[in-house]
Amino acid sequence: KVMVKKIMFLGNHELKDTELKTIMHTQEETLFSGLSGSGNFKEFHFKTDVEKLKYYYKSKGFLQINIGNPIITVSEDKKWIFITVNVKEGPKFKVNDIFFNGELLFTESEMRKEIKLISEEIYSEETLRKDIQVLTEMYQDKGYAFANVLRRLQIVPGENKVDIHYSFEKG
Protein backbone atom coordinates (compact mmCIF):
# COMPACT_ATOMS: atom_id res chain seq x y z
CA LYS A 1 0.00 0.00 0.00
CA VAL A 2 1.12 3.50 -0.78
CA MET A 3 0.23 6.03 1.91
CA VAL A 4 -0.32 9.76 1.45
CA LYS A 5 2.32 11.57 3.50
CA LYS A 6 1.53 15.18 2.55
CA ILE A 7 -1.04 17.12 0.51
CA MET A 8 0.05 20.65 -0.41
CA PHE A 9 -1.81 23.40 -2.22
CA LEU A 10 0.01 26.12 -4.16
CA GLY A 11 -1.66 29.35 -5.27
CA ASN A 12 -4.58 29.29 -2.86
CA HIS A 13 -4.86 32.64 -1.09
CA GLU A 14 -8.51 32.93 -0.06
CA LEU A 15 -9.11 29.36 1.13
CA LYS A 16 -6.60 27.71 3.46
CA ASP A 17 -5.03 24.26 3.01
CA THR A 18 -6.81 22.86 6.08
CA GLU A 19 -10.22 23.94 4.74
CA LEU A 20 -9.53 22.40 1.31
CA LYS A 21 -8.29 19.13 2.84
CA THR A 22 -11.59 18.67 4.70
CA ILE A 23 -13.42 18.60 1.33
CA MET A 24 -11.29 15.75 0.04
CA HIS A 25 -11.80 12.01 0.47
CA THR A 26 -8.05 11.51 0.06
CA GLN A 27 -6.43 12.24 3.41
CA GLU A 28 -2.93 12.35 4.80
CA GLU A 29 -1.73 9.38 6.83
CA THR A 30 -2.32 9.68 10.60
CA LEU A 31 -1.70 7.55 13.69
CA PHE A 32 -5.16 6.01 13.26
CA SER A 33 -4.83 5.27 9.53
CA GLY A 34 -4.46 1.56 10.16
CA LEU A 35 -7.89 1.47 11.79
CA SER A 36 -9.76 3.97 9.62
CA GLY A 37 -8.15 3.31 6.25
CA SER A 38 -7.42 7.00 5.79
CA GLY A 39 -4.13 7.87 4.17
CA ASN A 40 -4.47 5.20 1.47
CA PHE A 41 -4.15 6.60 -2.03
CA LYS A 42 -6.89 5.60 -4.47
CA GLU A 43 -6.74 7.26 -7.87
CA PHE A 44 -10.51 7.14 -8.39
CA HIS A 45 -11.15 8.99 -5.13
CA PHE A 46 -8.48 11.51 -5.93
CA LYS A 47 -9.99 12.38 -9.33
CA THR A 48 -13.32 12.88 -7.57
CA ASP A 49 -11.55 15.09 -5.00
CA VAL A 50 -10.38 17.48 -7.72
CA GLU A 51 -13.99 17.89 -8.92
CA LYS A 52 -15.18 18.37 -5.34
CA LEU A 53 -12.57 21.11 -4.86
CA LYS A 54 -13.74 22.91 -8.02
CA TYR A 55 -17.36 22.73 -6.88
CA TYR A 56 -16.42 23.98 -3.41
CA TYR A 57 -14.54 26.94 -4.86
CA LYS A 58 -17.49 27.78 -7.14
CA SER A 59 -19.77 27.65 -4.09
CA LYS A 60 -17.55 30.31 -2.54
CA GLY A 61 -17.84 32.64 -5.56
CA PHE A 62 -14.73 31.63 -7.52
CA LEU A 63 -16.24 31.00 -10.95
CA GLN A 64 -12.90 30.97 -12.75
CA ILE A 65 -11.22 28.43 -10.48
CA ASN A 66 -8.53 26.47 -12.23
CA ILE A 67 -7.02 23.40 -10.62
CA GLY A 68 -4.09 22.06 -12.59
CA ASN A 69 -3.12 18.42 -12.89
CA PRO A 70 -1.85 17.48 -9.44
CA ILE A 71 1.80 16.54 -9.15
CA ILE A 72 2.22 13.19 -7.40
CA THR A 73 5.68 12.29 -6.15
CA VAL A 74 6.56 8.85 -4.79
CA SER A 75 9.25 8.40 -2.14
CA GLU A 76 12.34 6.34 -3.03
CA ASP A 77 11.19 3.41 -0.89
CA LYS A 78 7.78 3.57 -2.63
CA LYS A 79 5.88 3.73 0.68
CA TRP A 80 4.80 7.37 0.60
CA ILE A 81 3.37 9.77 -1.90
CA PHE A 82 3.35 13.53 -1.80
CA ILE A 83 0.58 15.41 -3.62
CA THR A 84 0.93 19.00 -4.81
CA VAL A 85 -2.18 20.73 -6.15
CA ASN A 86 -1.76 23.96 -8.13
CA VAL A 87 -4.69 26.33 -7.71
CA LYS A 88 -5.55 29.54 -9.55
CA GLU A 89 -8.48 30.98 -7.65
CA GLY A 90 -9.25 33.98 -9.83
CA PRO A 91 -11.56 36.74 -8.56
CA LYS A 92 -14.59 36.22 -6.34
CA PHE A 93 -17.85 36.89 -8.22
CA LYS A 94 -21.10 38.48 -7.09
CA VAL A 95 -24.51 38.04 -8.69
CA ASN A 96 -25.32 40.98 -10.97
CA ASP A 97 -28.82 40.26 -12.24
CA ILE A 98 -31.18 37.31 -12.64
CA PHE A 99 -33.34 36.71 -15.72
CA PHE A 100 -36.23 34.29 -16.30
CA ASN A 101 -37.35 33.18 -19.76
CA GLY A 102 -38.97 30.31 -21.61
CA GLU A 103 -42.28 28.72 -20.67
CA LEU A 104 -43.08 30.76 -17.57
CA LEU A 105 -45.91 29.66 -15.29
CA PHE A 106 -45.15 32.14 -12.52
CA THR A 107 -44.45 35.85 -12.35
CA GLU A 108 -40.89 37.02 -11.94
CA SER A 109 -41.63 38.30 -8.43
CA GLU A 110 -43.10 34.92 -7.39
CA MET A 111 -39.95 33.15 -8.55
CA ARG A 112 -37.60 35.72 -6.99
CA LYS A 113 -39.32 35.15 -3.62
CA GLU A 114 -38.44 31.46 -3.75
CA ILE A 115 -34.77 31.64 -4.73
CA LYS A 116 -31.88 32.39 -2.39
CA LEU A 117 -29.32 33.85 -4.82
CA ILE A 118 -29.95 37.56 -5.19
CA SER A 119 -28.20 40.55 -6.74
CA GLU A 120 -25.03 41.73 -5.01
CA GLU A 121 -24.65 38.49 -3.05
CA ILE A 122 -21.56 36.31 -3.51
CA TYR A 123 -22.25 33.75 -6.24
CA SER A 124 -22.56 30.17 -5.00
CA GLU A 125 -22.84 27.06 -7.16
CA GLU A 126 -24.39 25.22 -4.21
CA THR A 127 -27.11 27.84 -3.73
CA LEU A 128 -27.75 27.92 -7.49
CA ARG A 129 -28.24 24.15 -7.50
CA LYS A 130 -30.76 24.46 -4.65
CA ASP A 131 -32.56 27.32 -6.42
CA ILE A 132 -32.92 25.19 -9.57
CA GLN A 133 -34.40 22.43 -7.42
CA VAL A 134 -36.91 24.87 -5.86
CA LEU A 135 -37.91 26.29 -9.25
CA THR A 136 -38.30 22.77 -10.69
CA GLU A 137 -40.51 21.77 -7.75
CA MET A 138 -42.71 24.83 -8.32
CA TYR A 139 -43.43 23.52 -11.83
CA GLN A 140 -43.90 19.96 -10.59
CA ASP A 141 -46.44 21.20 -8.03
CA LYS A 142 -48.44 22.57 -10.96
CA GLY A 143 -48.49 19.10 -12.56
CA TYR A 144 -45.45 19.35 -14.84
CA ALA A 145 -43.57 16.27 -13.66
CA PHE A 146 -40.91 16.57 -16.36
CA ALA A 147 -40.25 20.29 -16.03
CA ASN A 148 -36.73 21.34 -16.83
CA VAL A 149 -34.96 24.44 -15.50
CA LEU A 150 -31.78 25.30 -17.38
CA ARG A 151 -29.29 27.86 -16.26
CA ARG A 152 -26.75 29.93 -18.14
CA LEU A 153 -24.12 32.09 -16.53
CA GLN A 154 -22.87 35.20 -18.27
CA ILE A 155 -19.91 37.08 -16.82
CA VAL A 156 -20.32 40.86 -16.93
CA PRO A 157 -17.31 42.20 -18.90
CA GLY A 158 -14.88 44.25 -16.80
CA GLU A 159 -16.55 43.41 -13.50
CA ASN A 160 -16.41 40.50 -11.09
CA LYS A 161 -20.13 39.95 -11.51
CA VAL A 162 -22.26 37.33 -13.22
CA ASP A 163 -25.76 37.36 -14.70
CA ILE A 164 -27.86 34.25 -14.17
CA HIS A 165 -30.33 33.29 -16.91
CA TYR A 166 -32.95 30.67 -16.00
CA SER A 167 -34.78 29.07 -18.90
CA PHE A 168 -37.92 27.00 -18.32
CA GLU A 169 -39.33 24.04 -20.25
CA LYS A 170 -42.65 22.71 -18.94
CA GLY A 171 -42.11 19.24 -20.30
Cβ atoms of 31 and 94 within 8 Å: the answer is no
Look at residue 37 in the predicted model and tell me its pLDDT. Answer: 57
Say what the pLDDT of residue 2 is: 78
108 vs 124: CA distance, rounded Å: 21
Alpha-carbon distance 45 to 23, whole Å?
Answer: 12
Torsion angles phi and psi, residue 124, rounded to 5:
-140, 120
Consecutive 10-residue averages of pLDDT for the chain (171 residues) = 88 96 87 56 82 96 94 90 95 97 96 96 97 97 95 96 97 87
